[in-house]
């Protein structure tokens, strides 16, 4: 037995490597270069250990190469054959190679609990969405059975359940189920991002309120759609009807489409003049909630009231006006 010096070890390793190289022709040039580079260091390590020359210790280079390719998951002349679990982690590894991926991996231990909380919210939000409650997003809090408090309670219950699931060492079927659920919730979360927020899933119903074709509809100072207008006199009496015109004398007719609290389109009875022509700027517009069939766009099988229910004027406090000091124009 001889103790290899550093120099002879390098020579021995390099000679052996040179003989292995031709047997790795099945690999792509990049893969091969990377493998040879790494292998050179490995062979030098072995050559530096006490023992006979590498060819004696490791066998023929051809056998060594074949064994290496097989165990590394690369068969000569064929694509890599690796177990699914390894391929999946390999993909994850490639993702980790990117800057964002790397940062995600670094932060993952911190992000995991955040994901557990987020998925609890998403799960409740998804249930709320399938319940078909919602409509406009006044709040990101999901509503269960039309109730925000129930939604909040559900989220509060779901969070510890989700965290517990995250912390527990689950059996394989359990883990598969949780992973499948995670995938569903991630897809749901992505769909929310695409749509702008949680809410029912019927795109036709829950798209932004439609203005008359080609024009934008009226929004108030908070950016909320104006779906009806109510005029009051100085004594706080509702005026019905009033005809509204803008500064150019054009009728105000670009109100937004109204929806009820369950997300269904409001039906509007547009007034008519004495000749039967529509007067879209007569306010308040008489609106009512409608049955699913009349509303159109509702998913089949979702029950709603059959009768139409008129929308009541909002409760408003009409301020007492100071006496007018400027004479009216005209």
Partner 1 sequence: MDTTQLLKGVLDLAVLAVVRDEDGYGYDIVRRLRVAGLDDVGDASVYGTLRRLYQAGALKSYVVASEEGPHRKYYGATPAGRDLYETWVKKWRGFAEAMDVLIDVPERETA
Chain contacts with partner 1 (rule: CB under 8 A): 6, 9-10, 35, 38-39, 41-42, 44-46, 48-49, 57-59, 63-65, 67-73, 82, 85-86, 89-90, 92-93, 96, 172
For the CB of residue 114, give the shortest distance to partner 1 in the complex, in Å: 18
Which CB, 74 or 298, lies closer to partner 1? 74
In angstroms, what is the minimal distance from the CB of 105 to partner 1?
9
Least CB distance to partner 1 at residue 220 (A):
53
On whether the CB atoms of residues 40 and 84 are closer than 8 A, the answer is no
CB nearer partner 1, residue 88 or residue 157: 88
d(CA 288, CA 163) in angstroms, rounded, equals: 44
Smallest separation (angstroms) from partner 1 to the CB of 161: 22
Residue 109 or residue 249: which is nearer to partner 1 going by CB? 109
User: Burial of 85 by CB count in 10 Å (0-12 exposed, 13-18 middle, 19+ buried)?
Assistant: exposed
DSSP string over 278-297: EETTEES-EEEE--HHHH-S
Residue 251 backbone dihedrals phi, psi, to 5 degrees: -60, 140
Q: Quote the tokens at residue 95.
A: 């993702």
- Nearer to partner 1 by Cβ, of 109 and 329: the residue is 109
Question: Cβ-count burial of 136 within 10 angstroms (0-12 exposed, 13-18 middle, 19+ buried)?
Answer: middle
CB of 87 to partner 1, least distance (A): 8
Nearer to partner 1, 55 or 226 (CB): 55
In the complex, minimum distance from the CB of residue 120 to partner 1, in angstroms, rounded to a whole number? 23
Question: Which residue's CB is nearer to partner 1, number 27 or number 189?
Answer: 27
Q: Which of 288, 292, 286, 256 is nearest to 270 (CA)?
A: 286
End-to-end CA distance of the chain: 118
Whether 73 contacts 27, CB under 8 Å? no
Shortest distance in whole angstroms from residue 58 CB to partner 1: 5
- Cβ-based neighbour number of residue 320 at 10 Å: 7
Compute the distance between CA of residue 120 and CA of residue 162 in angstroms, rounded to an integer: 6
Q: 34 or 233: whose CB is closer to partner 1?
A: 34
């Amino acid at each position: 037995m001889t103790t290899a010096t550093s120099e002879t070890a390098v020579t021995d390793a390099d000679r052996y490597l040179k003989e292995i190289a031709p047997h790795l022709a099945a690999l792509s040039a990049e893969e091969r270069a990377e493998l040879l580079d790494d292998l050179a260091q490995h062979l030098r390590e072995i050559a530096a250990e006490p023992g006979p020359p590498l060819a004696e210790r490791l066998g023929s280079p051809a056998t060594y190469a074949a064994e290496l390719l097989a165990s590394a998951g690369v068969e000569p002349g064929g694509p890599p054959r690796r177990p699914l679990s390894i391929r999946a982690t390999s993909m994850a590894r490639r993702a980790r190679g990117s800057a964002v991926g790397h940062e995600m991996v670094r932060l993952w231990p911190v992000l995991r609990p955040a994901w557990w909380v987020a998925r609890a919210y998403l799960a409740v939000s998804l249930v709320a969405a399938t319940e078909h409650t919602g409509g406009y997003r006044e709040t990101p809090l999901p509503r269960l059975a039309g109730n925000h408090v129930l939604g909040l309670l559900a989220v509060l219950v779901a969070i510890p359940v989700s965290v517990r699931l995250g912390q527990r060492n689950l059996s394989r079927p359990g883990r598969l189920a949780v992973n499948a659920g995670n995938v569903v919730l991630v897809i749901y979360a992505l769909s929310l991002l695409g749509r702008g927020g949680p809410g029912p899933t019927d795109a036709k119903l829950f798209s932004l309120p439609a203005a008359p074709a080609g024009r934008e509809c009226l929004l108030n100072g908070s950016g909320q759609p104006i779906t009806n207008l109510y005029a009051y006199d100085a004594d706080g009496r509702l005026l019905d009807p009033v005809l509204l015109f803008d500064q150019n004398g054009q009728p105000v007719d670009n109100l937004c489409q109204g929806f009820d609290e369950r997300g269904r389109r409001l039906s509007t009875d547009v007034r008519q003049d004495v000749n039967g022509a529509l007067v879209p700027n007569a306010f308040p517009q008489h609106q009512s909630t409608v049955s699913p069939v009349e509303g159109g766009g509702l998913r089949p099988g979702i029950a709603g009231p059959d009768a139409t229910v008129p929308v009541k004027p909002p409760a408003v406090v009409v301020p007492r006006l100071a006496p007018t000091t400027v004479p009216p124009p005209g």
